[in-house]
Amino acid sequence: MNRALYADVIVDISLENLDKPYQYRIPEGFEERVRVGSAVMIPFGRGNRRIKGYVVGIGTEPKYDVAKIKCIREIPDKQVTAAGQLLELAFWMKERYGCTANEAIKTVLPVKNKVRAVKERTVRLAVDRDKARAFLAELRGKANAAARIRVLEKLVSSDDGKLDYSEAVKKLSVSGQTFNSLAKEGIIVIESERISRNPDMNTGIHAVRHRLTDEQQNAVDTVTKDFGNGVRRTYLLHGVTGSGKTEVYMSVIEHIIKAGRQVIVLIPEIALTYQNAGRLYGRFGDRVSILNSRMSAGERYDQYKRAENGELDIIIGPRSALFTPFDRLGLIIIDEEHESSYKSEITPRYNAIEVAFQRANNAGASLILGSATPSVETYYRTTAEYGGSESVKLLELSKRVPGSSLPVVHIADMREEFKKKNYSIFSEGLKEKIQERLDGREQIILFINRRGYAGFISCRNCGEPVKCPHCDVSLTLHYTGNGGANAKLICHYCGYESEPLKTCPSCGSKYIGGFRQGTQKIEEMVKSEFPDARVLRMDADTTGGKDGHASVLGKFSKHEADILVGTQMIIKGHDFPKVTLVGILAADTALNTGDYTASEKCFQTLVQAAGRAGRGRTPGEVFIQTYRPSHFAVLCAAAQDYKTFYNKEISFRKLMGYPPAAHVMSMMTASDDEELTKAITEDAARNIRLYFKESDVASVIGPAPHTVAKVSDVYRYMLYIKHYDIRELKLLRDKVSEYIGRKYGDRKYSIITDID
């Protein structure tokens, strides 16, 4: 005979309830259908009220007298409520990212029970004035009625028979008690209304409705026809910069809303306050709202509430917007899907694309990923080569919208400038172009690539970075011990170390070193070179405060400045029609991050930066200043040729066994005891090697100290494990943490793992 199965059920989803679930028996024959996260109907309490609960655990051990355990009554076919969908998602996240159930649930239900909603309360007469006057007269004869009398006098003499609750408490010096007792007598009613703290989204951008190009129309039709036919899948909208991706999103959104469904739009945090949100607002009005990290917890809570109450059709936000409690979710859009901000840096370290896929699945929704420079991983899933179950359908926009064309790109070889004794940050060519544009009253963006800016070493004469002889990635400069005086070059992947070099290993030049020029310094140089230009700077320092980005971007879009100088944040999806020149300084620093995705990041950054030029009627030009003009990432970016880039890059990944061709799990051990940190990591490495027995499907790299080996007295060591099968890595992760836990359980350390 089969053993009975029991489900732990909570009746209201909150963290507190998680710890005290009720146990119910799963009816025979339904074992398959009840999963952790499932919604079930249960008899509850003495009267066996029929209510909905959620399964948070399943087991074979009864916790009480078996005879007293009630049975689940009904298992609805599908998760219908948002709460159920989100809970299911949380348990999936727990499995996938190896966090606890509480951490996962806290992530999907981020603000519940934490912030009290702001309420506006009014006190109103419940009877006509004559009755109220009569009651007042009665009160005058009684003791302890002074407060009630004050309230009634005021109400009777007011125009509309109403008082503001909190104002009355102050002005009439009465308490809540006074109101409550009057309400009990039936003389007044207390009405409360939640005030929504809604963000102001009206940027004045009006919604011009464009006639879609054939490519745009084709993309819209593909998605909406699938949707109409009940087909749900993932799409990649690969459109060159300025090809009108947002217009495609809006048309699809319109269709989904007409079908009675709701939409989540993820966009990178940085682009949130300004243009994209404004365009959606212009088109869909009050039915759209926004979430961002500059809003107060209360403001965000209110948007979740509005979503839950069905007041919204669309929510726009960063990755956490995925957890908006929509019951009728029909579409998730992830714009600029290649952005690294879609990966969470805090536990659970989730990837928004994976979670979106899962959420869409639970809800029966479609998923659109959009980018001009898709991640290699996503693009791989559109190819025939990809064998997994999560294949992606490719939709292409190969041209810019009518009236605008892709910019002309020049590469300035900074080694040549160096040889010509031009030691300034501008190549001769860029300097000339800037002057030309200033004379023509057009706008200029100067972009400084901060990624990989500090920490790598390269040669100003030949442009070569110093690389690891084993891994084909750049070595990174570390300062260790002796107050930072002992410097070393280290490989992140295999731990290879070398002394800092005095001369270039490729050409023997002694002009070898790091580059560390801040945006502020560059702003000064721009001003001294072009004293008549109005210059704005945008970086972490100038954009503090609630609407820092929006205000700098707003000024620039109103042409209150000629030149915008800035880092990564100025190239994210903005649309400034008057910008006709983009200068990219230090283009190749991104190649030197010591990461296997370095070429990809570099390519993406260059194409995105170039994409800011010539979005209006006047054609644009781009200058890429680089020490490595022949690197394929630079060349493909200059040609704005994604496919050639992708083909080169994927063969490199295959050759080296990097994702998506293989999977990599990183494991970071941290503790305040350096010996212990090292010992644990070495122990783990030894065991993993034994476990795989030097098979050729897996390889173990390290241990090696983390790039920043020591942070506030905590030592960190890294280990990388490559495998072709992601399931093996998950299994391994659990085994290792169990083994280490058993052996070092009494010591203080932490291990953070991250797959891909």
Q: Restricting to residues 179-218, name those near ligand ADP by CB under 6 A.
A: 210-213, 216
Q: CB count, 10 Å around CB of 226? A: 15
Closer by beta carbon to ligand ADP, 336 or else 649: 336
The CB-of-658 to Zn ion minimum distance in angstroms stands at 13
**239 binds ligand ADP per the rule CB under 6 A:** yes
Closer by beta carbon to ligand ADP, 55 or else 609: 609
* Binding-site partner at residue 242 among Zn ion, ligand ADP, none, CB < 5 to 8 Å by type: ligand ADP
Strand, helix or coil for residue 217: helix
Q: Which of 38, 107, 224, 243 binds ligand ADP (CB under 6 A)?
A: 243
Q: Which of 88, 215, 247, 523 binds ligand ADP (CB under 6 A)?
A: 247
Q: Are 494 and 702 in contact (CB under 8 A)?
A: yes
- Cα 186 to Cα 183: distance, rounded to the nearest angstrom: 5
Closer by beta carbon to Zn ion, 351 or else 474: 474
Q: Within 13 Å and on the Cβ side, how many CA atoms surround 86?
A: 26
- Cα 237 to Cα 222: distance, rounded to the nearest angstrom: 11
Q: Are 40 and 53 in contact (CB under 8 A)?
A: yes
Which H or E run includes 629?
Answer: none
* Binding-site partner at residue 246 among Zn ion, ligand ADP, none, CB < 5 to 8 Å by type: ligand ADP
- Within 8 A by CB and 6+ apart from 312, the residues are 262, 287, 288, 289, 303, 306, 326
Per-residue CA distances from 50 to 41, 45, 84 (Å): 7, 9, 17
Closer by beta carbon to Zn ion, 457 or else 602: 457
Strand partners, 444: 563, 581
**402 binds ligand ADP per the rule CB under 6 A:** yes
260 backbone φψ class: left, alpha, beta (φ>0; ψ -120 to 50):
left
Handedness of CA 585, 591, 593, 596 (dihedral sign): positive
Which H or E run includes 444?
Answer: strand 443-448
* Number of chain residues interacting with Zn ion (CB under 5 A): 14
Closer by beta carbon to ligand ADP, 570 or else 719: 570
* Binding-site partner at residue 50 among ligand ADP, Zn ion, none, CB < 5 to 8 Å by type: none
- Cα 15 to Cα 109: distance, rounded to the nearest angstrom: 9
- Cα 429 to Cα 442: distance, rounded to the nearest angstrom: 17
**436 binds ligand ADP per the rule CB under 6 A:** no
- Cα 427 to Cα 626: distance, rounded to the nearest angstrom: 10
Closer by beta carbon to Zn ion, 464 or else 621: 464
- Cα 319 to Cα 262: distance, rounded to the nearest angstrom: 17
* Binding-site partner at residue 301 among Zn ion, ligand ADP, none, CB < 5 to 8 Å by type: none
Q: Restricting to residues 552-581, name those near ligand ADP by CB under 6 A.
A: 575
**493 binds Zn ion per the rule CB under 5 A:** yes
* Number of chain residues interacting with ligand ADP (CB under 6 A): 16
**401 binds ligand ADP per the rule CB under 6 A:** yes
Pairing mode, if any, of strands 663-671 and 714-723? antiparallel
The CB-of-519 to ligand ADP minimum distance in angstroms stands at 24
Q: Restricting to residues 550-579, name those near Zn ion by CB under 5 A.
A: none
Q: CB count, 10 Å around CB of 511? A: 13
* Binding-site partner at residue 494 among Zn ion, ligand ADP, none, CB < 5 to 8 Å by type: Zn ion
Q: Which of 509, 551, 699, 707 binds Zn ion (CB under 5 A)?
A: 509
Q: Which of 84, 244, 703, 705 binds ligand ADP (CB under 6 A)?
A: 244
Q: Which of 479, 496, 632, 652 binds Zn ion (CB under 5 A)?
A: 496
Instruction: Candidates 352-360, 424-432, 452-460, 643-651: pick the segment binding Zn ion (CB under 5 A).
Output: 452-460
With CA atoms as reference, report the closest residue to 336 among 236, 254, 475, 464: 236
Using N-to-C axis directions, what is the helix angle for 146-157 and 176-184, rounded to 10°?
70
> x/- contact string, 462-481, with Zn ion (CB under 5 A)?
x-----x-xx----------
Strand, helix or coil for residue 462: coil
For residue 278 the two structure tokens come to 């404004």
Q: Which of 491, 538, 571, 624 binds Zn ion (CB under 5 A)?
A: 491
The CB-of-514 to ligand ADP minimum distance in angstroms stands at 34
Buried residues in 689-705 as b, exposed as e (16+ CB within 10 A): eebbeeeeebbbbbbbb
Q: Are 721 and 751 in contact (CB under 8 A)?
A: no
* Binding-site partner at residue 210 among ligand ADP, Zn ion, none, CB < 5 to 8 Å by type: ligand ADP
The CB-of-573 to ligand ADP minimum distance in angstroms stands at 6
Buried residues in 136-159 as b, exposed as e (16+ CB within 10 A): beebeeeeebebbbbbbeebeeee
* Binding-site partner at residue 491 among Zn ion, ligand ADP, none, CB < 5 to 8 Å by type: Zn ion
Place of tokens 């217009």: 247
Q: Phi/psi at 592 (nearest 5 deg)?
A: -115, 25
Instruction: Candidates 39-47, 95-103, 240-248, 672-680: pick the segment binding ligand ADP (CB under 6 A).
Output: 240-248
Instruction: Candidates 96-104, 236-244, 626-634, 734-742: pick the segment binding ligand ADP (CB under 6 A).
Output: 236-244
> x/- contact string, 11-50, with ligand ADP (CB under 6 A)?
----------------------------------------
Q: Which of 80, 126, 494, 525 binds Zn ion (CB under 5 A)?
A: 494
Q: CB count, 10 Å around CB of 231? A: 11
The CB-of-703 to Zn ion minimum distance in angstroms stands at 13
Name the residue with the smallest CB distance to ligand ADP. Answer: 244
Which H or E run includes 90?
Answer: helix 82-97
Q: Which of 94, 148, 245, 359 binds ligand ADP (CB under 6 A)?
A: 245
Closer by beta carbon to ligand ADP, 59 or else 619: 619
Strand, helix or coil for residue 82: helix
Residues that bind ligand ADP (CB under 6 A): 210-213, 216, 239, 241-247, 401-402, 575
Residues that bind Zn ion (CB under 5 A): 459, 461-462, 468, 470-471, 491, 493-494, 496, 504, 506-507, 509
